[in-house]
């Protein structure tokens, strides 16, 4: 039974231009309240970002839906996610794609996300602690890459790990950020600017 809050969220997503029925169905399958602190559960169906500890936030449902809609146009099978965070977006990706590889810098967030994904019986996710600037070389190439934190510039290693015909969606910039959709055609990359966004920064590790 769908709650009034959930109904309101779907209506908002549709009004904001999210029409991909597979993406909307996947969002409907994932209980967002399970991915935030109990004290914030009453706000879980609001179309806003919420704190998840360690100065990080669970992404706004609209942004998750927008980014995944951009990926699912190309029917990818193997997806790399950078910034597991709460695991909310990971759970949605797991409904839509065969295998999800997810990299998170902060171990406590990663362990918590893993517990939540297990509780929801999502077994097609492989995650590891690591620096997203490096991607996940041993599992590359990926049909799609989705980055949940804003990079100062597009990480070269992520471009290299994108399969031919693959698509990456990534917020780029510092004080002002743009969501970019980058598609690969052989050694050629095409960038499309989607919209202005606000993400937490993709922390600089040992850059590739
Ligand atoms: N989509 C997530 C958003 C999490 S916020 C959700 O819905 O919950 C962004 C996440 O990126 C944070 O968990 C942060 O720790 C992580 N992050 C930041 N820099 C990173 C890096 N260099 N490598 C991997 N993860 C990183």
Distance of CA 93 to the CA centre of its chain: 8
Q: CATH number of the domain that 192 lies in?
A: 3.40.50.150
Residue bearing tokens 């998750």: 64
> How many angstroms is it from 87 CA to the middle of ligand 1?
10
Crossing angle for the helix pair 88-96 and 61-72, nearest 10 degrees?
Answer: 30
Q: Could you give the CA distance from residue 93 to residue 23 in angstroms, rounded to a whole number?
A: 9
Mutate to test the pocket of ligand 1, among 37, 149, 207 (most ligand atoms within 8 A of CB): 149
Known catalytic residue: 69?
A: no
Residue of minimum CA distance from atom 13 in ligand 1: 85
Q: Is 16 part of a structural domain of the chain?
A: yes
The DSSP code for 133 is: G
Q: Is 134 part of a structural domain of the chain?
A: yes
- The domain tally of the chain equals 1
Phi-psi region of 156 (alpha: psi -120 to 50; beta: other; left: phi over 0): alpha
Q: Is the pLDDT of residue 207 over 50?
A: no
Q: Give me the pLDDT at residue 4, please.
A: 76
Q: Give me the pLDDT at residue 106, please.
A: 97
Mutate to test the pocket of ligand 1, among 34, 49, 55, 85 (most ligand atoms within 8 A of CB): 85
Cβ burial, residue 21 (10 Å; 0-12/13-18/19+): exposed
Show the domain range for 156. 4-197
**pTM to 2 decimal places:** 0.95
Which atom of ligand 1 is found nearest the CA of 87?
8
First vs last Cα of the chain: how many Å apart?
Answer: 47
Q: Could you give the CA distance from residue 71 to residue 74 in angstroms, rounded to a whole number?
A: 6
> How many angstroms is it from 106 CA to the middle of ligand 1?
8
> How many angstroms is it from 149 CA to the middle of ligand 1?
6
Q: Is 122 part of a structural domain of the chain?
A: yes
Q: Is 175 part of a structural domain of the chain?
A: yes
Q: Is 83 part of a structural domain of the chain?
A: yes
pLDDT tens for each residue of 90-142: 999 999 999 999 999 999 999 999 999 999 999 999 999 999 999 999 999 99
């Amino acid at each position: 039974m769908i709650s009034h809050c959930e109904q309101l969220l779907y209506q908002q997503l549709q009004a904001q231009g999210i029409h991909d029925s597979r993406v909307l169905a996947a969002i409907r399958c994932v209980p967002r309240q399970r991915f935030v602190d109990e004290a914030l559960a009453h706000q879980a169906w609001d179309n806003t970002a919420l704190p998840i500890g360690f100065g990080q936030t669970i992404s706004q449902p609209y942004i998750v839906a927008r980014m995944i809609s951009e990926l699912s146009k190309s029917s990818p099978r193997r997806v790399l996610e950078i910034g597991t965070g709460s695991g909310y977006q990971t759970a949605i990706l797991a409904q839509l794609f065969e295998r999800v590889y997810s990299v998170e810098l902060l171990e406590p967030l990663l362990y918590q996300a893993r517990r939540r994904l297990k509780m929801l019986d999502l077994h097609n996710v492989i995650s590891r602690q690591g620096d997203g600037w490096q991607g996940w070389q041993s599992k590359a190439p990926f049909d799609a890459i989705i980055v949940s934190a804003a990079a100062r510039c597009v990480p070269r290693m992520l471009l290299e790990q994108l399969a031919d015909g693959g698509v990456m969606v990534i917020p780029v910039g510092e004080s002002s950020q743009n969501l970019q959709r980058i598609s690969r055609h052989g050694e050629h990359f095409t960038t499309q600017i989607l919209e202005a966004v606000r993400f937490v920064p993709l922390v600089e590790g040992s850059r590739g």
